């Protein structure tokens, strides 16, 4: 077949890219066309997203795509992080500057919510992990502080759906991102309207939810004209970046519970791909989350703070006059003495500290551990703690599924951290297979290719990824030492505060 090109607009918390996926029927190649920065904008003691600037950069990327590939482009689709959203008026005005999920306005709102709808009922109606950043608590907070603005809203759109609206005029929300909101029912597979009404939230603004692979319409005429593109098909991939990444896990296994995944980056999302959501009392106790996947599957997983700890330490080191690239940071961590101290990466103190190294030292100090006194010691503490948290979460997932996991697939940018990959194999006692790095973009473009009819199934998507990617395997080492370390970690992270 003639090579077809699919465009992935892939937005992360630190950067965005417009990527081209070139598919010849057997292999997929990616080319980065345009990269741009992203991050919070501080506005009057709040944290916001500058979505207008992101849209401007996306259009630059579309212009570059037109110049590079022209008529070979089949379609375009957007994936982003979860939970954040835009409210649109009836006339298509953006109501306010959208908030960043780390904004402090949601502090305490989760417990206030439970006074109106008990925690167990929220879980039964959503199946989602309880995190104060979830869309539900953001919307409750907004309704408390600015109810007039919420009342004006005609459409609630998640971030990728907002960009799809800018591209095509569609006003729908895609399934995988809807499930990150803690407002979507896991068995009815629609918005949890009764729960939302009990919380005093207007429900008329919640639009139709569509499946990954849905055609949303053609590129707006003015957008196509400015970019120099034909009026391409706009396709909703799995719009939640983790959903797209898991679609591109290169597993050969047919059993849905005998392999686990970690989508590794700023956040680590560790889970299983299952046919149905896990909604038992034990799932509630473990605070797992059920996020939508391809073909109606559910990603039963835990959000783990991930390489955020390392990224923030690196920024702090640079501020103090010690710049590191990530390779050097891994080296000083490798050289540091092992198993000195551990932290719980998911403790709330690590969500948005002013100084991550000091937050780690304080956690160690408060738990009567040896305090890391070097840059390498801090990074090693963070990486060992992450690997041990992966082992803990893997045990929970196996308990819920009733199956032993045979292998862990790590995809995403975190696959480049070879030290953490080896630590993960050591801590879990499971082989770890890493790659592809660009799983999110691959999942995005291959779902589009399936929509066009060029790919037949999810299994075929994974076959193509496996044939097109370089992967690395890590076998467990030093398991006795890591077993001892895990015992200490469990004691530290489960003791009453």
- Give pLDDT, residue 370: 97
CA distance 143 to 193: 16
Q: Which fold has domain 249-435+456-497?
A: Nucleotidyltransferase; domain 5 (3.30.420)
Which neighbouring-strand residues pair with 360? none
- Give pLDDT, residue 497: 60
User: 264-298 burial, b for 16+ CB within 10 Å, e for fewer?
Assistant: bbbbbbbbbbbeebbbeeebbebbbbbbbbbeebb
Give the containing element (helix H, strand E) for 34: strand 28-37
Helices in 103-155 by DSSP H: which ranges? 109-116, 119-126, 135-145, 147-152
Q: What percent of the chain clears pLDDT 70, i.e. is strictly above it?
A: 99
CA distance 216 to 264: 29
User: 429-460 burial, b for 16+ CB within 10 Å, e for fewer?
Assistant: ebebbbbbbbbbbbbbbbbbbbbbebbeebee
Q: Identical fold at 4-241 and 249-435+456-497?
A: yes
Neighbour tally for 10: CB within 10 Å:
28
What secondary structure letter does DSSP report for 184? B
**Burial label, 496 (beta-carbon count in 10 A; 0-12, 13-18, 19+):** exposed
Instruction: Please give the C-alpha separations between residue 129 and each of 157, 231, 275, in angstroms, as whole numbers.
Output: 21, 40, 18
Neighbour tally for 37: CB within 10 Å:
10
CA distance 281 to 26: 44
CA distance 418 to 329: 12
**Where are the chain's structural domains?**
4-241, 249-435+456-497
In the CATH scheme, what is the homologous superfamily, with its name and number, of domain 4-241? ATPase, nucleotide binding domain (3.30.420.40)
**Burial label, 223 (beta-carbon count in 10 A; 0-12, 13-18, 19+):** buried
CA distance 348 to 412: 24
Find the farthest-apart pair of alpha carbons in the chain and give their distance in angstroms, rounded. Answer: 64
5: which residues sit within 8 A by CB, 6+ positions away?
20, 21, 22, 23, 65, 69, 72, 73, 74
Report CA 301 to chain centroid distance, whole Å: 11
DSSP of 185-203: -TTT-SB-HHHHHHTT---
CA distance 280 to 397: 12
Task: Give the residues of the chain that fall short of pLDDT 70.
Answer: 1, 254-257, 497
The answer to whether residues 158 and 82 touch, using CB atoms and an 8 Å cutoff, is yes
Report CA 391 to chain centroid distance, whole Å: 20
- Give pLDDT, residue 352: 87
Helices in 280-325 by DSSP H: which ranges? 281-286, 308-319
Instruction: Please identify every residue annotated as catalytic.
Output: 241
For residue 134, give the nearest of 103, 155, 162 by alpha carbon: 103
CA distance 405 to 12: 29
- Give pLDDT, residue 255: 56
CA distance 459 to 462: 5
Compute the mean pLDDT over every residue in the chain, rounded to the nearest whole number: 96
Please give the model's pTM, rounded to 2 decimal places: 0.90
Provide the sign of the torsion angle of the four alpha carbons 196, 242, 420, 333, taken in this order.
Answer: negative
As given in the structure block, the two tokens for residue 139 are 């919307």
| Block residue for tokens 């949303």 | 216
């Amino acid at each position: 077949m003639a090579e077809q090109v699919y465009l992935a607009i892939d937005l992360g918390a630190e950067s965005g890219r417009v990527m081209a996926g070139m598919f010849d029927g057997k292999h997929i190649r990616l080319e980065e066309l345009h990269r741009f920065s992203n991050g919070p904008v501080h506005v009057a003691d709040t944290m916001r997203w500058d979505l207008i600037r992101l849209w401007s950069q996306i259009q630059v990327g579309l212009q570059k795509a037109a110049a590079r590939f022209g008529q070979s482009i089949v379609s375009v689709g957007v994936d982003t992080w979860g939970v954040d959203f835009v409210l649109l008026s009836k006339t298509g005005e953006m109501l306010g500057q959208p908030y960043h999920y780390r904004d402090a306005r949601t502090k305490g709102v989760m417990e206030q919510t439970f006074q109106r709808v008990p925690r167990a009922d929220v879980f039964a109606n959503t199946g989602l992990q309880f995190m104060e950043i979830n869309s539900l608590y953001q919307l409750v907070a907004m309704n408390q502080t600015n109810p007039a603005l919420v009342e004006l809203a005609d459409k609630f759109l998640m971030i990728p759906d907002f960009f799809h609206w800018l591209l095509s005029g569609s006003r729908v929300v895609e399934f995988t991102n809807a499930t990150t909101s803690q407002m979507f029912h896991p068995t009815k597979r629609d918005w949890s309207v009764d729960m939302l009404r009990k919380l005093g939230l207007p429900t008329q603004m919640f639009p139709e939810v569509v499946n990954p692979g849905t055609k949303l319409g053609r590129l707006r005429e003015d957008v196509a004209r400015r970019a120099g593109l034909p009026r391409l098909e706009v396709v909703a991939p799995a719009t939640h970046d983790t959903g797209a990444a898991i679609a591109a896990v290169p597993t050969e296994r047919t059993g849905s519970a005998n392999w686990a995944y970690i989508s590794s980056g700023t956040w680590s999302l560790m889970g299983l791909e299952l046919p149905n959501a896990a909604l038992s009392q034990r799932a509630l106790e473990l605070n797992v989350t059920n996020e939508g996947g391809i073909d109606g599957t559910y990603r039963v997983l835990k959000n783990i703070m991930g390489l955020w700890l390392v990224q923030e330490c690196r920024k702090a080191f640079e501020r103090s006059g010690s710049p590191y690239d990530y390779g050097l940071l891994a080296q000083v961590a490798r050289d540091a003495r092992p198993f000195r101290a551990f932290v719980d990466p998911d403790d709330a103190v690590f969500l948005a500290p002013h100084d991550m190294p000091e937050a780690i030292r304080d956690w160690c100090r408060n738990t009567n551990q040896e305090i890391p006194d070097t840059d390498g010691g801090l990074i090693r503490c963070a990486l060992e703690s992450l690997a041990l948290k992966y082992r803990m979460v893997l045990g929970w997932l196996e308990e819920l599924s009733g199956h032993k996991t045979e292998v862990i697939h790590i995809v995403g940018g975190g696959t480049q951290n070879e030290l953490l990959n080896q630590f993960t194999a050591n801590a879990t006692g499971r082989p770890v297979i890493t790659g592809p790095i660009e799983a999110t973009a691959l999942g995005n473009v291959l779902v589009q290719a399936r929509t066009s009819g060029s790919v037949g199934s999810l299994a075929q998507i994974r076959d193509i990824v496996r044939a097109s990617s370089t992967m690395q395997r890590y076998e467990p080492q030093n398991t006795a030492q890591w077993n001892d370390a895990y015992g200490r970690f469990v004691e530290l992270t489960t003791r009453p505060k």
